[in-house]
Amino acid sequence: MNSERPEECLVRLSELTVRFGAFVALDRLSFQMNRGEVIGLVGPNGAGKTTLLRVLATLQPPTGGSAWIAGYDVSAHPAAVRRVIGYLPDFAGLYQDMKVREYPAFFAAANGLDAKQIAAFTARALTLCNLVDRQNDFIEQLSKGMRAKLAFAGVLAGDPPLLLLDEPMSGLDPSARKAIREIILQLRDEGRTVLISSHLLADLEQFCDRVLFLRGGQILSESVDQTPVVQLVLESEDETTPDRLRAMPGVADVQKKNDVRNGYVLVLKEGAHVPSTLAAITAAGLPVMLFAPAGHTLEDRFARAVEGRHP
């Protein structure tokens, strides 16, 4: 089984499809995830993010294509897959009557660890989640942010190489979000592979190596495609200006910005030398008032990929 796939590739989807009746939740999705990568899933509600995570967590059988994790087909070998994943669902409940330290211990036991390993894991998980001081409290006494951190601790039981996180920061206040962000950053530094869905793009930007934009069950684009985009404002323009801009070196496309007077968005070719483009525009006598790189934040790229508009 494992010999089929290269060692560095931990997750592989091939034409993965999930249908719910006539509704296509995932539409022939294909991508690979290497070990140590942190990948974000972004898209509007109903884009297929949760369905994708549920397929990988062995909770949703695909209706077409295949998904492989660590060399195991998710459909054919769910038990083997469960040994290499940690899954945090979008709504992860906790046992309110448990003590804080008992929660990671319970999941460690469920992962087959012996008493010594359970004690070691519990101590490590509580330290990572900064809950050592509250370990003897009951879970019902914790704040929402602390419960979110504790749910994280359970996911880490068994030391899974792949973490599947569905909206782990949803509904949390800024300080709790920061705490979760720090945990994910630490896990990334430990070399874990993480697939995380979130609507909080600014957070994803801080720890994701790649972000996949999903819509209608398909990957629209990847954030690694960082085609440079420039915002240009001229002092004056005439009807020939768009064509003149299109003829400049490195320019792939020119779009008029309707909300800015004499404003344009220049989509540059991949690998274009931006200073040379600016130099060519000024040399052509176009009166440049503003020439600024744009569209590099994740939010801008999301707008471009999912909503089809430039910033």
Binding footprint of other proteins on the chain (CB under 8 A)? 54, 57-60, 79, 82-83, 85, 87-89, 91-98, 102, 106-107, 109-112, 151, 154-155, 157-158
Which C-beta is closer to other proteins: that of 117 or that of 262?
Answer: 117
Please give the Cα distance from 36 to 154 (Å, whole number).
Answer: 20
Could you say which DSSP state residue 123 is in?
A: H
Which C-beta is closer to other proteins: that of 150 or that of 251?
Answer: 150
Q: What's the min distance (Å) between Cβ of 122 and other proteins?
A: 13
Which C-beta is closer to other proteins: that of 9 or that of 80?
Answer: 80
The angle, 0 to 180 degrees and rounded to 10, between the axes of the packed helices 174-189 and 144-155 is 20
Q: What's the min distance (Å) between Cβ of 280 and other proteins?
A: 56
- Sort residue 62 into left (φ over 0), alpha (ψ -120 to 50) or beta: beta
Which C-beta is closer to other proteins: that of 56 or that of 305?
Answer: 56
Q: What's the min distance (Å) between Cβ of 146 and other proteins?
A: 16
Which C-beta is closer to other proteins: that of 65 or that of 86?
Answer: 86
Please give the Cα distance from 181 to 296 (Å, whole number).
Answer: 21
Q: What's the min distance (Å) between Cβ of 61 and other proteins?
A: 8
Which C-beta is closer to other proteins: that of 86 or that of 250?
Answer: 86
Q: What's the min distance (Å) between Cβ of 57 and other proteins?
A: 5
Q: What's the min distance (Å) between Cβ of 211 and other proteins?
A: 24
165 neighbors 207 (Cβ within 8 angstroms): no
Q: What's the min distance (Å) between Cβ of 3 and other proteins?
A: 23
Which C-beta is closer to other proteins: that of 18 or that of 234?
Answer: 18
Give the neighbor-by-neighbor strand order of the sheet with 64-69: 23-34, 9-20, 64-69, 72-73
Pairing of strands 288-294, 229-234: antiparallel
- Which run of H or E residues covers position 86? strand 85-88
Please give the Cα distance from 282 to 278 (Å, whole number).
Answer: 6
Structure tokens at 10: 């931990």
Which C-beta is closer to other proteins: that of 85 or that of 200?
Answer: 85
134 neighbors 23 (Cβ within 8 angstroms): no
Q: What's the min distance (Å) between Cβ of 158 and other proteins?
A: 7
Dihedral (CA of 210, 213, 219, 221) sign: negative
How large is the greatest C-alpha to C-alpha distance in the chain, in angstroms? 78
104 neighbors 141 (Cβ within 8 angstroms): no
Structure tokens at 118: 């359970």
